[in-house]
């Protein structure tokens, strides 16, 4: 993808082009009436002197070593050069004013957001894994302004901003960057960095800053899972091995692989969801759950659907079930 100048840089370059254009116009006007001007030595002006006069006049420096000496030249200065000077000053003042107001607006917006935000999600790393995680959050009803993306790549953060997310350019292992993301008030922290050592350090820093947040991390190598768990991660996903297992299952049992892909696809077909039990399900066995039951979360610990410890479903349990994604049937009909 070709690089494009965006935002303030484009504005500054555009205003700079306008300013240079005004100088060129003023120089041409002076050179066209060069017989009406004299320099300090009394000689008529040339092209170089015309540009020099245009620059010092439009910038209001005005050394006085080149002056109009005829009535026509003075009239042209009054009717043409003076408006050009005003336009030049407006371009400079407008650029400065815009830069100041944009910076002030961003600072006010960030301060207002930081005062109000809480129980949000911080995503450290906005590569392929981080983008997929954010897409899943949004598909499940997550509001964009409650998702904060941290990435050292300004292009990635800019892309997050264009999708309505709050983006911060910086190192997700740094305390100052995590403080800007109000990590101490976050409910969830997702670590999707490109390196496992960075993920470990990010988990350590995040856990120190927020002891109660649910931290989920993605790592490439299984041997780093204990480091992540020791660093404070509640859940660790081994991306490379998980993908390898899915490939193996799909090779041996294509139908099973299709169902697993369906479960992992957001917004289509089946999905895995967590919900509270219905009133009619409380006190009854797992066989009476109206949807295929995968696990029961009790006292913060997941129990497999076949675990005899479950017994009857309790009101404070959470059920992990497989169900059809909302709107999947309508999308199939449209397809």
Q: Are residues 168 and 232 located together in one domain of the fold?
A: yes
Instruction: For residue 147, give both structure tokens.
Output: 């998702």
pLDDT digits 0-9 by tens, 205-232 = 999 999 999 999 998 888 888 999 998 9
Tell me whether residue 293 is in a domain. Answer: yes
Predicted TM-score (pTM) of this structure: 0.59
- 283 Cβ contact list (under 8 Å, min separation 6): 312, 313
Q: Give the total number of structural domains in the chain.
A: 3
pLDDT digits 0-9 by tens, 67-83 = 888 888 889 888 998 88
The pLDDT score that the predictor gives to residue 302 is 87
Instruction: For residue 282, give both structure tokens.
Output: 């409380």
Q: Is the separation of the CB atoms in 28 and 20 below 8 Å?
A: no
Q: Are residues 81 and 105 located together in one domain of the fold?
A: yes
Q: Are residues 148 and 170 located together in one domain of the fold?
A: yes
b/e sequence 281-292, b meaning 16+ C-beta within 10 Å: beeeebeebeee
Using the predicted structure, report yes or no on whether residue 22 has a pLDDT greater than 60.
yes
Tell me whether residue 255 is in a domain. Answer: no
- Binned at pLDDT 50, 70 and 90, residue 95 comes out as low
**Secondary structure E strands in 196-324:** 214-219, 235-238, 270-275, 293-298, 301-304, 318-324
The pLDDT score that the predictor gives to residue 191 is 94
Tell me whether residue 256 is in a domain. Answer: no
Q: Are residues 132 and 64 located together in one domain of the fold?
A: no
Domain extent, residue 321, equals: 267-334
CA dist list (Å): 71 to 33, 66, 97 = 11, 15, 37
Tell me whether residue 311 is in a domain. Answer: yes
Tell me whether residue 229 is in a domain. Answer: yes
């Amino acid at each position: 993808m070709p690089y494009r100048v965006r935002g303030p840089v484009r504005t500054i370059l555009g205003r700079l082009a306008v300013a240079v254009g005004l100088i060129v116009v003023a120089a041409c006007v002076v050179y066209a009436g060069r017989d009406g001007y004299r320099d300090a030595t009394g000689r008529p002006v040339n092209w170089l002197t015309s540009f020099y006069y245009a620059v010092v006049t439009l910038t209001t420096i005005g050394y006085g070593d080149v002056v109009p000496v005829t009535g026509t030249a003075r009239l042209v200065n009054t009717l043409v050069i003076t408006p050009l000077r005003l336009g030049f000053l407006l371009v400079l003042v407008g650029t400065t004013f815009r830069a100041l107001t944009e910076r002030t607006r961003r600072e006010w917006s960030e301060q207002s957001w930081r005062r109000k935000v809480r129980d949000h999600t911080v995503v450290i790393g906005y590569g392929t894994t981080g983008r997929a995680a954010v897409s899943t959050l949004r598909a499940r009803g997550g509001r964009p302004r409650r998702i904060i993306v941290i990435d050292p790549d300004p292009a990635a953060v800019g892309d997050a901003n264009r999708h309505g997310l709050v983006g911060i350019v910086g190192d997700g292992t740094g305390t100052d960057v995590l403080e800007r993301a109000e990590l101490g008030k976050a409910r969830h922290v997702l670590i999707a960095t490109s390196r496992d050592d960075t993920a470990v350090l990010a988990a350590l820093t995040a856990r120190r800053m927020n002891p109660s947040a649910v931290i989920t991390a993605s790592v490439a190598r299984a041997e780093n899972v204990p480091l992540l768990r020791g660093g404070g991660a509640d859940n660790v996903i081994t991306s490379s091995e998980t993908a390898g297992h899915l490939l193996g299952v799909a090779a041996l049992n294509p139908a099973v692989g299709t169902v697993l892909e369906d479960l992992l696809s957001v917004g289509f077909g089946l999905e895995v969801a967590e919900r509270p039990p219905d009133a009619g399900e409380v006190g009854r066995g797992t066989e009476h759950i109206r949807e295929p039951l995968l696990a029961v979360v009790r006292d913060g610990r997941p129990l497999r659907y076949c675990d005899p410890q479950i017994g009857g479903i309790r009101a404070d349990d959470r059920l992990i079930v497989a169900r059809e994604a909302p709107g999947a049937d309508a999308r199939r009909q449209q397809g």
